[in-house]
Structure formats: structure tokens, C-alpha cells
A and B are shown apart, each in its own frame.
Chain A
Amino acid sequence: MRIAFAGNPNSGKTTMYNALTGRSEKVGNWGGVTVGSKEYQLKKEFAGDREVIAVDLPGAYSMSPFTPEEGITSEYVRTASPDAIVNIVDATNLSRSLFFTTQLLELGIPMVVALNKSDVNAKEGTEIDVGKLSAKLNCPVFKTVSTEEKNNGLSEMIAKAISLCGTEQKAPYLQADIDLHDKAAVDAEDRKRYQFVNGIVAEVETRKVLSQETNKEDKIDAVLTNPIAGILIFAGVMWFVFWVSQAWLGPLVADWLVGYIEAFQEFVAGQLENSPPILSALLADGIVGGVGAVVGFLPLVMVMYFLIALLEDCGYMARVSAVMDPIFKRVGLSGKSVIPVVIGTGCGIPAIMACRTIRDERERRATTMLTTFIPCGAKIPVIALFAGAFFNGAGWVSLTAYFFGLVLIFLGALLIKVVTGYKYRKSFFIMELPKYKVPSLKFAFRQMMERAKAYIVKAATIILICNTVVQVMQTFDWHFQVVEEGAENTSILASIASPFAILLIPLGFGVWQLAAAAITGFIAKENVVGTLAVVYGLTAFIDVEELEMTGGANTVAMTMGLTSVTALAYLFFNLYTPPCFAAIGAMNSEMQHKGWLWSAIGLQLCTGYTVAFLIYQFGTLFTEGHFGTAFVPGLIAIAVMVVVIILISRKIRASFDAKYQLHKNAQTNVA
């Protein structure tokens, strides 16, 4: 038996689905969090011995889809014939929600209405006559509060939905038989339906707070969504998040953790004193040291995720989307491009997948191409390492990396706009601003722990294997002889990384160790930290004596032999070159076009290289009065990359021109 959960965006479908199935799917205090359908079996306490599958569907405002994810919902309820539908209605916004409800009731599938968020109604003094509403809709109606563990109304609601399976649903409102291609007829029919819905609402709902009155929330929104104040506040909020996570609380906790990791590494190395050096190198340096270096940054990442979860839950991130929307549209992206960018702070892959909600093909591909410029969670250890070792743990490094990523997105979007030419379709971004609420510490803690678990899994699998391979490649030469001290340049790793290191000379860090770390970063960005730990024999990226990230002329900075300028160039190179292979795979599946994919990789490579080149060369000019090493070869390398991108872009432009011409011809024919 299958029960579909359908309703408007941000009505609490996934929260209810999680409560009924025991899953922990991503929820958020904004619409559009769910972009695909998910299925799982109901808990026994709700379904008894029967096998009941709950299907969580993306939010939709009507059966006529405006966005691809709305299309998933209407397609599913129309064609998959679920045994019952649970229509989740936002009880705080009844008139808007019932439009979709009346359309679902027309399908003839047995349906139960869940008046979700009823606790908010109780606080605001809004009363809904459940009995009368049930009679008007011809279906059972239950008050539910999915966030409560007890007395939430879910058991009764599910029991009723199961008992209705096999019965026939009678619709309270039937759409007239109209030509669905006739826009005027469809509009007129929609207005009739709204009249019907408003009639029901007027009879069943009594409100104390009227929506047309300006309340405190509206006043806060006026400031937070102001084009100038909104951006300044967003910058301030992000600075606070990065400062707390990477300069204050994060390092404080990390210091405690690193102390244990170091002690354990010393213990392992001590136990292996009389064992073959290769074994000690692999176990103590490669595995414990390399993985420990990555795990040492876990508290910083956890604190950041906790704060981001609080921001999402209180409803602030939805306001950020509203602020960024006009700017994104101006550079040729969709307003919807904001959502992948916000999600990208956590991980690039779901951010890329979120691009599928963008209707226009060009905008979708452009967003997919650019969204990974936002530093994801995996890049946080790299930022924290360099900020700590070379900039006294300054919070501005993370903030600069974040906002510079946004600037690169805007510049990249403008470039794509120039390459692909004009658009023939306007794009719209409709997003409901959710109510502000006190963020749930429990929710944020759970989100943080889930992500921390995933981080540890990654460190204990991918990072561990990579560090072991790096350690082996560094220990042996091509004849599988152990490399002698002082002859590290003959190792397998050095011989593979050295040709790449030559290309990095114009960027100021043309040594094989840094090249090797940047290459392993394409497997997972945390690998940059792990590999640096292995190749330089460092673990103490966080200073246990000073209770803070290592700063100034410390061991890490001295061992790497980088100046602040070259360190910044290397950091930005790792942040803005192509993301990890998994994210590139996601880009491939979303773009579905080899030309676009290679353009994306080329653009990202060119961007990372150019940014690092400019930072190094001009940074050296300002600090030392002359350009850095290999200025002219660097310019030539950039020119070659630009020519390659132009050649690929011209091919793409040709296909776009053909498409635009077809559209123009079609418009002329219609006229």
C-alpha cells in the first residue's frame, strides 16, 4: 500500500514524513527543499503489521506545474495511482493551500487532509472548525503538529488514511470541461475555484491576526530584504558564522581534539620504534597523522554547520534568497540560482542537483557551472589551515573566500551571458517567505551530528586510502626501493607531481609537494590538508600550546616555505579550480552536454589559475616591488586557456544561435 504526501511548499511534508518513517531527510524552513520524490516504509506504530509505503513529494501550488519539481508531484498523483493521499495543508495559510486540495480531491483517490502547524494557529488565536471543513471538502480533516513527539494527531490521521484505501473519493468542486490551451478559460476557471475556496475559508476560519495588517515580521522583512541593508546584514551574519566557527569556538574545541590525536600518534610511533620504518611511516604518519590532520578540523566544520542550520531554521536564508534574486537576474542567471548557491555552502553536489529546478536550459547549465565557486564544507579545513598558519587565524580569510566566490559567480555569469547571447524567455523566481521562528537547537544539533558523522566516514575511508597511497608513493621510488633521506625528489609521488609543479611556478608555489596536494584535492578537497600533512610530516595544524590555530612564523608556515602572498594564492587556487570528481560527475549528469561540461571545467581551471596568478604576481609587486617568478610564462599559459575556452564557447554559441533563430521563426509564423 502506498500513501502519497502532497501539499504546498513549506507546509511540513518532509517533517511529517520523517516523523512517520523515522527517516531524517533534509528539512528546512523554506519552500523547495525537496526536489525529488522519496519513499520509505511507515513505522510499525503507525502502520501495524501492514506494509505501508509513504511517498514524500516535492511541494506544489497546483496540478498545473510551473516548475519541474511541481511536475514530479502532479505526474505522480496522476499516473502512479497511490492507494491514498495525505494532503498536508499549512493551517496558517488555509486559503492558499485549499486551491491544491480541491484539485487533488478531483482525482478520485481517497484523501485525508492534515492541518499541519496547528500549534502556530493556536498561538496566533486562529481557529478552524475541523468538522465543518471536513463536511465541505467531503474528506476527513485532522489537526497535526509534526514537530511534536506526542499528541501530534499523526496516528489518527494515518489510521484513517489506511482505512480509506479502496474507497472512492467524491470531489466537492469539479472543474468545468474547458480547453486547457485556452489561457482565458483556464484563468476564469481558476478564479472560480478561488471563489469556492475563499467561501469555505470564510465559513470555517476565525482569525485574530489579519494578513493584510503590517506586523512586526513585515517590518523586519523590509530591512532584511532591502537591496543594500540586506546585503550588508548578510555579510555581517556570514562574518559572524566564520568568526565563531574558525577563529573562536571551533579552534577552541579543535585544540582539545588535536591534543588527543597528537598523543595517539606519538603513542603509535613509540610502539613502532623497533619496527621497520616503512610501517611506522604508513601507520603513524600516513594514517594517524594524515587522517588526524583532517579530523582535527572537524570541530570547525561542525560549528559552521550548526550555525548555518540555525540560520536556515529561523527563516533567514529564505530572505537572503530574496535579496540576491535581483542581482542574479541582472547578470543573466535565474533568481532560482540563489538556492544552489546557498546549499553550496554545505556541499557542492546537492547544490548542483538543486539546479534542476531552473527551467531555462542556459540558466540551469550556467548555474551548474558556477555554483561550486562557493567554498563548500570540504574546503573549510583548507581555508582554516591557511588562515591559521599564515594569517593568525583571521576570520576575514573565510569571509573573503565566500564573497569572492560570489563575485566570481557574477563575473562568470556575465561571461556566459556574452558567450551565449540573448535570452528569449523571462525567468521568474517565486518563493514564499516563511514565518520567522525561534530556531530549534535540537534540529541544528541533529543536522550538525549527521554531517559530522559523514565527515568522519569520509576521513576514515576516502581520505585514509588516499593518504596511505600518498605515503607509499612518497616512500618508494619507481624501483620500489625506499627513498633515502634527502632524496625525496626521486619518489614516485615527486616524479608524478613535478611536471604539474612546473605549471604552478608562475603562481608562486611550483614545488611537487604542493602540486601533489592540489591533485589529490580533486578526489576530495579535504585531501589537500591530509596530503600536506603526509608530505611535510605535519599534524599539528592547530597549536595545542597556544589554544588557537597556529599563527605567524610558525612551524607549519616555515616547513611549507611559503610567504603570506603565495599561501593566499595557493589557497584560492584550491578553492576556485574545478571541484572534486564526484561534483564533476554531478555536473555531467545535470548538464547533459559534453561541450558545456568541458567549458565548465576549463572555466574553473582558468579562473583558479588566473586568480592565483594575479594574487601572487601583484601581491609580490606590492610587497617586494617587483613581479614574481615566471610572469611572462604565466601570462602565456592564461592566454592559451582563454583561447581554448573561446573555441569551445564559439561552438556553443553556434548551437544557441540556431536555437534562437528557430524560436524567432516560430514567433514570426504565429504573428
Chain B
Amino acid sequence: MNAATIIAVIALACIIFFAARYIIKSKQRGAKCIGCPFSDSGQCPYHAAAQKKSCCH
């Protein structure tokens, strides 16, 4: 197995791991739509509900 293959396998594993982790964490925070264009602007009430849980109070 050459160096490029080892790096590619590690990169592939990392990419999928972090993408999956992001989805799972978002789901745990209550988000129903990941990457909704309104998620950061807060118009999406699903996202607002998720933010409330992780807010300061």
C-alpha cells in the first residue's frame, strides 16, 4: 500500500466521520433540517427550537 493510498483512506475516514458526527450532533440538538438556508438566520422554527435548548438558560 503506497503513501497516497494511506493518506486517501485516512482522509476518507475523517471526512465521513466528521460529516456523520455533525449530522448526529445537529439531530441531538433537535434540528430537523441540516443545512436549511434559514437555519442561521433563525427564521426556521425547527432551528429556533434547537437553539433554545443550547442557549444560556
Question: Which residue of A has the minimal Cβ distance to B48?
Answer: A38
Q: Kindly report which residue of chain A lies nearest to residue B12, judged by CB atoms.
A: A283
Distance in angstroms from B13 CB to nearest chain A CB is: 11
Contact with A along B23-57 (1 / 0, CB 8 A): 10000000011111111111111101000100111
Query: CB distance B35 to A279 under 8 Å?
Result: no
Inter-chain CA distance A411–B13, complex, in Å, is 49
Q: Does A51 contact B (CB under 8 A)?
A: yes
Residues of A within 8 A of B43 (CB): 25-26, 33, 343, 350
Please state if B4 and A275 are interface contacts (CB–CB under 8 Å).
yes
A464 within 8 A of B: yes
Beyond A276-B5, A453-B40, is A586–B35 a contact (Cβ under 8 Å)? no
- CB of A588 to closest CB in B, whole Å: 11
Whether B4 and A353, one on each chain, are in contact in the complex, defined by CB atoms closer than 8 angstroms, is no
List of A residues within 8 angstroms of B55 by Cβ: 39-41
| Chain A facing B: main interface SS | helix
- Bound-state CA distance A218–B56 (Å) is 46
Task: Identify which of A87-95, A454-462, A629-637 touches chain B.
Answer: A454-462
B8 touches A275 (CB 8 A): yes
Contact yes or no, B34 A457, CB < 8 A = yes
- Asked if A67 is an interface residue, CB under 8 A from chain B, the answer is no
CB–CB A279/B41 < 8 A: no
Residues in A neighbouring B44, C-beta threshold 8 A: 347, 349-350, 353
Q: Which of A25-48 contact B (CB under 8 A)?
A: 25-26, 33, 35-36, 38-41
- Residues of A within 8 Å of B5, CB to CB, are 272, 274-276, 279
Tell me, in angstroms, the Cα distance from A283 to B8 when the chains sit together: 8
Among residues of B, the one whose C-beta sits closest to the C-beta of A305 is B37
Check if A639 is an interface residue, CB within 8 A of chain B.
Answer: no
Given contacts A461-B23, A582-B36, contact A350 B16 (CB under 8 A): no
User: For A283, what are the chain B residues with a Cβ–Cβ distance below 8 Å?
Assistant: 8, 11-12
In the bound complex, CA of A312 to CA of B8 (Å): 46
| Residue of B9, B12, B16, B19 with highest tally of chain A CB at under 10 A | B19
Point out the residues of chain A lying under 8 angstroms from B4, CB to CB.
271-272, 274-275
Is there a chain B Cβ closer than 8 Å to A24's Cβ? yes
CA A460 to CA B20, docked complex, whole Å = 10
Residues of B within 8 A of A192 (CB): none
Known pairs A39-B55, A271-B8; A455 contacts B45 (CB<8 A): no
Contact between chains at A464 and B41 (CB < 8 Å) = no
A387 within 8 A of B: no
Asked if A279 meets B8 with Cβ closer than 8 Å, knowing A458-B35, A462-B35, A582-B36, the reply is: yes
Contact A465–B16 (Cβ < 8 Å): yes
Chain B residue contacts of A203, Cβ below 8 A: none
CB-defined contacts of B35 to chain A, threshold 8 Å: 454-459, 461-462, 524
Alpha-carbon gap, A516 to B12, bound state (A): 23
- Using A275-B5, A287-B12, A464-B15 as known contacts, say yes or no to A349 and B38 having CB atoms under 8 A apart: yes
Contact assessment for A454 and B45 in the assembled complex, using a CB-CB cutoff below 8 Å: no
- Chain B CB within 10 Å — which of A26, A343, A455, A524 has the most? A26
CB pair B39–A454 under 8 Å, yes or no, is yes
Residues of A within 8 Å of B37, CB to CB, are: 305, 346-347, 377-378, 450-451, 454-455
A401 at the interface (CB under 8 A from B): no
User: Which residues of B sit under 8 angstroms from A272, Cβ to Cβ?
Assistant: 4-5, 8
Contact residues in B for A346 (Cβ distance below 8 Å): 37-38
- With A41-B55, A468-B16 as given contacts, are A24 and B34 in contact (CB-CB < 8 Å)? no
Contact in complex: B32, A582 (CB < 8 Å): yes
Interchain CB contact (< 8 A) of A275 among B2, B39, B56 = B2
| CB-CB nearest in chain A for B44 | A350
A585 sits at the interface (CB 8 A): yes
Return the contact of B36 from the options A51, A275, A447, A454 (Cβ within 8 A): A454
The digit string for A29-73, where 1 denotes a CB below 8 A from any CB of B, is 000010110111100000000010100000000000000000000
Is A282 close to B, CB under 8 A? yes
Q: How far is the CB of B22 from chain A (nearest CB, A)?
A: 5
Does A659 reach chain B (CB closer than 8 Å)? Answer: no
* Residues in A348-406 with C-beta less than 8 Å from chain B: 349-350, 353, 377-378
A23 at the interface (CB under 8 A from B): yes
Q: What's the minimum C-beta distance from B42 to chain A, rounded to whole angstroms?
A: 4
Contact A25 B52 (CB under 8 A): no
Question: Could you tell me the distance in whole angstroms from the C-beta of A37 to the nearest C-beta in chain B?
Answer: 9
> With contacts A287-B12, A460-B19, A465-B19 known, is A26 near B36, CB below 8 A?
no
Distance in angstroms between the alpha carbons of A159 and B11 in the assembled complex: 52
Complex Cα gap A371–B9 (Å):
44
Evaluate contact between A465 and B20: CB separation under 8 angstroms. yes
- B27 shortest CB reach to chain A, Å: 11
Q: How far is the CB of B6 from chain A (nearest CB, A)?
A: 9
By a CB distance below 8 angstroms, the chain B residues around A377 are 37
28 residue pairs bridging A and B, Cβ less than 8 Å apart: A25-B41, A26-B38, A35-B45, A39-B57, A41-B55, A41-B56, A274-B4, A275-B2, A275-B5, A287-B15, A346-B37, A347-B38, A450-B40, A450-B41, A451-B38, A451-B41, A454-B37, A454-B38, A454-B40, A455-B37, A458-B35, A460-B19, A461-B22, A464-B15, A468-B16, A582-B46, A586-B32, A586-B33
Known: A38-B42, A274-B2, A275-B8. 16 other contacts (CB 8 A): A25-B42, A40-B56, A271-B8, A275-B2, A276-B5, A279-B8, A283-B8, A350-B43, A353-B46, A454-B38, A455-B37, A457-B22, A457-B35, A458-B36, A465-B20, A585-B32
8 nearest A-B pairs in the assembled complex, by CB-CB distance: A458-B35, A26-B43, A25-B42, A582-B33, A451-B37, A275-B5, A26-B41, A450-B40
Which B residues contact A (CB, under 8 angstroms)? Answer: 2, 4-5, 8-9, 11-12, 15-16, 19-20, 22-23, 32-46, 48, 52, 55-57
> Interface residues, chain A, CB within 8 Å of chain B?
23-26, 33, 35-36, 38-41, 51, 53, 271-272, 274-276, 279, 282-283, 287, 305, 343, 346-347, 349-350, 353, 377-378, 447, 450-451, 453-462, 464-465, 468, 524, 582-583, 585-586
